[in-house]
Amino acid sequence: MKPAGFWIRFLAYLIDGFVFGIPLSIILTVLGFVFLGGSLMTTDFAAQDPYSSNGAEVGIILVYYFISFVLGIAAAIFYYGLMTASKYQGTLGKMLLGLKVVNEAGEKVSKGQAIGRFFAYYLSSAVVYIGFIMIAFGPKKGLHDYICNTRVVYKD
């Protein structure tokens, strides 16, 4: 198992950002128009005091943000977590670059490991992405790999 280095993993991360981020942004934009478009269009902003707000509008905005947050997390768990635990052993970015995620024994990771690895990304990105930068200077493992006992390697 040849471990994947920092730059190829970074490229996979960028590809995944586009593959995952663009469709999610479109969906959330449409949701925003559905939730916020109607409520904001019915408001007469010219006649309204700019420092006051309608409680119903605030409620609609909060519901929109809550739904966006839940939808975003669910989609990310599905994409990053379940794709990693699938037969493909990685996201589309990793698959395009010939990479896969394995456990320390070189086997497919479990769903729990894959979802845990997704949440461990947040720890890797804390404090100026130091958990990801570790990949460039160590045994090709990021903080999230250490936490979840995983590796990113080249496919055979």
41-59 pLDDT, tens digit each: 555 555 555 555 556 667 7
Q: What is the mean pLDDT of residues 13-18?
A: 95
3-state secondary structure of 101: strand
Residue 34: the pLDDT is: 79
> Would you tell me how many other CB atoms lie within 10 Å of the CB of residue 122?
10
60-93 pLDDT, tens digit each: 778 888 999 999 999 999 999 999 999 999 999 9
Residue with tokens 């010219």, as numbered in its chain: 46
Residue with tokens 């809550």, as numbered in its chain: 66
Q: Distance between CA atoms of 138 and 135, rounded to whole angstroms? A: 6
Average pLDDT, the chain: 88
105-128 pLDDT, tens digit each: 999 999 999 999 999 999 999 989
Strand partners, 132: none
